[in-house]
Structure 1
Amino acid sequence: MPQHPPTASRDEPFLLVEDDGLSRLQGRVGLIPEKGRGIVRRALIYALLAWLPLVVASWVTGTPSEQGTGTSETLLGHFGIHIRCLVAIPLLVLAEGVARKILPLCLSEFKRSGLVDPALAPRFDGVIAGVLRLKRRVFPWLVIATLVTAWTVAFLFAPNPDEVQWAGSGSEGMAFGAWWFLLVTRPIFSVLLLAWVWRLTLVGILLLRIARLPLKLVVMHPDRMGGLGFLDRLPMVYAPFLFSVSAVLAGAWAHTVFYHGVTVPSLYVQVATLLLILILIGLAPLLVFTPSLAHAKRQALLDYGALLSEHGRLVDARWIQNAQVRENPILDAPELGPVADIQAMYQAVAAMRPVVVNRSILLKIALPAALPLLILISTQWPLKSTLSKLLFTLI
């Protein structure tokens, strides 16, 4: 693949995935075409490569019995494996398209909205160029490869891993399906997952460095976030990762519920902990602007408070005390207007949020993180009786 220098300009968008270590590797082996990204094609290839051999192996070997229990341990019942292959893996690949669309749009709005003025633009471009250089480093991908290799080796030496009991035993130990899962399926998922951990870390670093710039925040902006309301699109970049993690763990827990006698209420602590962690991951890149927003709000309350006090004293002197008041621009300034208008300005400042968080942002973060967990929790209620009660209530 052709390599581009890590520069940032007004005409070149910030691309999170393109030309990083994993993309260059996929380009060399032909998974990424020279023109375009081949995202859908790669999502299908990875999903089928991870899943289809497992199904064939399970069909060939049949359904073994779990030792000592007399219950069947089938591939079909390992919901976490199917979700990992058919949902999480393709979703982590398709997430590239989401990042490619949303991140450049958000970054361009900093200049377009005036938060980054022409004087600040060189420093802003320098921040983006610095993160692009960080993105191209090889060391993070060596760390990812080491972690995935160590994780794979650890499972190879684990006695009878639960996730491969469905595969049965070959002549010399584990059967083909177990080897494929441990050496192909799990590493594919692990690499894609850790790749997005690194990429989303880069997004956090980028936003943290931008937040440290002297942005021209607008304390009276209608979005009540100093003009940063366009960042409400950013959680969509994190949503595929949050949903994938939540879905895989929910599927693994569902297997223990249906086949190992674990009750759903006993998982409430784990479910709540996971949900809290995922929501914090989604909120973290937006919270980096909190110090700047909080400082801007505190200063604006003082400034607009002084302005309102001066305006109020002059109005009181002229119309209540009937005193002779010399001409003062503050009384006739069209941008201030009457008393009601200047009070509305102060109230707009007071209503400014010190965080880039609103209902829409929380929904975009919490929904993908919570949906698989809610499906897991709903399994404790019998579907037929639940629907019957709901129908009876409606009637």
Structure 2
Amino acid sequence: MATDSTSRANFSLTQGGPTDRALERIGFPPHLSRRIVISILVSWLPLLILSTLQGLAIGTTVKIPFLLDIAEQTRLLLVMPLLLVAEPIINSSIKEAVEQFLHEEIVSEVDLPAFKAAIHQGMRWKESAWAEAILVSIIVVFMITYLDVVKSIHLSTWILLPSTSNPGRSLAGWWYTLISMSLYRFLLFRWCWRFIIWSRFLWHVSRLRLQLIPTHPDKAGGIAFLGDTQIRFAILLFSLSAVMAATMANLVVYEQKAPLEFKSTVFSYILLVIILVLLPLFAYTGKLIKVKEQGQLEYSVLGMDYTKSFEQKWIRTDPAIQESLLGNRDVRSLADLARSFAVVRSMNIVPFDFDTVKFLVLATILPFVPLVLTVISLQEVLEKMREFLL
């Protein structure tokens, strides 16, 4: 079956969409580096200028001045650019995965129309103006809610003007609430929507009659590349963890919270996000179990037939009329059959392995290391990581 070039060209999880097209029309360049610079110029630089004008960028006017706000510096200068950097990284891997379904003929000829329909439906969802309108509506709700939440903050911060009674929002605080956080939330929520689109595509494909091979060396019937694709989402997990860790760092530095207070929260968070990233791949578990069981049965029957013939020829035949066993093809064939059966027996029932899990966990916990270092030594941290990885 030839690879469908039309499907390949049309499947892109990140390129296009109503917002990107609108930005291009008004002159915003599609280049990644320029978009990163523009995002910083729009979300961070005005905050620096406005907070400086009101004496809130540095100094002791407030307890948390803008430049010493660990959470917001991390969010705006590290995480927002990473959400943009993730686009070509994840998109290229997903396109390769879609192509591999076709190139390796995993999708049968009869199901090719359904496969293409799943691609086109995913692209319609990505291009949906309604979807992005809903995202914007959710962001507006968050923004309105945040207006009241910030007023209840008891800690002195650059977002609010210092006052003993009813502090008002600073100029930088208004820009942060209306512009900076809205842009951050849009990039984050759009990634959530893209992940839903990709997960739905994976679910649709899992319902097709896939041509999986139990002896495939990837130990997943030929679809272990899906686990490699999910690994690319590690950059998003790192980004989310960075915001969470930086927020906790603010609490440790400015409110004297103990890092160990966050232990259960961090553990629950890590478990949750790893499950969410890998959950779409469990849609293939039923098929992989069936292929594994069928492969074991077929190779067991084949092995029984072959070993009976082998025993009859080499064990029960008169040695005087036997061929030379040394270098005989029968022995090599028996060894090959044993290896094939071992591959089937060791086949995974999910299209990923423990290395995939370890990589995702490592990317998720990495931003928390600075917090951990306030409790235990670097040597202990490195030793724990080495034990986990090896």
Task: Tell me, yes or no, if the aligned pair for 1:58 and 1:166 is still in contact at 8 Å.
Answer: yes
Asked if 1:208 corresponds to 2:203, the answer is yes
Hey, what does 1:42 align to over in structure 2? 35
1:44–1:162 Cα change, 3 Å: farther
1:366 corresponding residue in structure 2 = 361
Q: How far does residue 383 in structure 1 lie from its aligned partner after superposition?
A: 7.8
SS at match of 2:300: helix
For residues 163 and 148 of structure 1, the distance between their equivalents in structure 2, rounded to whole angstroms, comes to 25
Match of 1:285? 280
Instruction: Tell me the distance in 2 between the aligned counterparts of 1:129 and 1:168.
Output: 48
Q: 54, 61, 65: which one pairs with 1:61?
A: 54
Q: Distance in 1 between matches of 2:191 and 2:16?
A: 14
Q: Which moved more, 1:356-365 or 1:209-218?
A: 356-365
Structure 1 CA distance, aligned partners of 2:90 and 2:289?
28
Q: How far is the alpha carbon of 1:142 from its aligned partner? A: 2.1
In the alignment, the residues of structure 2 paired with residue 386 and residue 317 of structure 1 have an alpha-carbon distance, to the nearest angstrom, of 60
Deviation at 1:180, TM superposition (A): 0.9
- Equivalent pairs, count: 365
CA-to-aligned-CA distance 1:208-249 (integer Å, 9 cap, x gap):
111211111111111111111323431344123211111111
The offset of 1:163, in angstroms, is 8.2
The secondary structure found in structure 2 opposite 1:250 is helix
Name the CA distance, whole Å, in 1 between partners of 2:122 and 2:190.
16
Normalising by structure 2, report the TM-score.
0.84
- Deviation of residue 300 (structure 1)? 1.1
2:158 partner SS: helix
Give the whole-Å Cα distance in 1 for the aligned partners of 2:376 and 2:287: 47
1:143-222 residue pairs with structure 2 within 5 A? 143-158=134-149, 159-161=151-153, 165-169=157-161, 173-222=168-217
Q: Are residues 124 and 242 of structure 1, via their aligned partners in 2, closer, same or farther at CA, if it must alter by over 3 Å?
A: same
In the alignment, which of 275, 295, 300 is matched to residue 295 of structure 2? Answer: 300
Aligned counterpart, 1:390: none
Equivalent residues of 1:220, 1:348 under 8 A apart: yes
Partner of 1:350: 345
Give the counterpart of 1:244 among 216, 224, 239: 239
Amino acid at match of 2:161: S
Match of 2:102 in 1: 111
Q: What SS does structure 2 have at the residue aligned with 1:145?
A: helix
Task: Tell me the CA shift for residue 8 of structure 1.
Answer: 7.6
Question: Distance between the aligned counterparts of 1:142 and 1:287, measured in 2?
Answer: 31
1:117 Cα shift? 4.1
Distance in structure 2 (CA, Å) of the matches to 1:64 and 1:340? 72
Map of 1:258 onto structure 2:
253
**Structure 2 counterpart of 1:188, which letter?**
L
Q: Do the aligned partners of residues 335 and 186 (structure 1) sit closer, same or farther apart at CA in structure 2, a change above 3 Å counting?
A: farther
Q: Is the 2:245–2:371 contact (alpha carbons within 8 Å) kept by the matching residues of 1? A: yes
Which moved further from structure 2: 209-218 or 196-205? Answer: 209-218
Matched, 1:92 2:83: yes
| Corresponding position of 1:16 | 13
Q: Could you say if the C-alpha distance between residues 165 and 296 of structure 1 is closer, same or farther in structure 2, counting changes exceeding 3 Å?
A: same
The Cα RMSD (Å) is 3.1
How far apart in 2 are the matches of 1:277 and 1:173?
A: 37
| Partners of 1:167 and 1:262 in 2: CA distance | 21
Q: Which runs of 5+ in 1 are unaligned?
A: 1-6, 324-333, 388-395
In structure 1, C-alpha distance between the alignment counterparts of 2:313 and 2:195, rounded to whole Å: 59
Identity %: 25
SS in 2 for 1:105: helix
Distance across 1 between alignment mates of 2:357 and 2:379:
32
Tell me how far 1:45 sits from its aligned partner.
0.8
Aligned ranges for residues 221-236 of structure 1 at < 5 Å?
Answer: 221-236=216-231
The answer to whether 1:275 aligns with 2:270 is yes
| DSSP-derived class of the 1:288 partner | helix
Shift of 1:197: 0.1
CA contact (8 A) 2:14 2:91 kept: yes
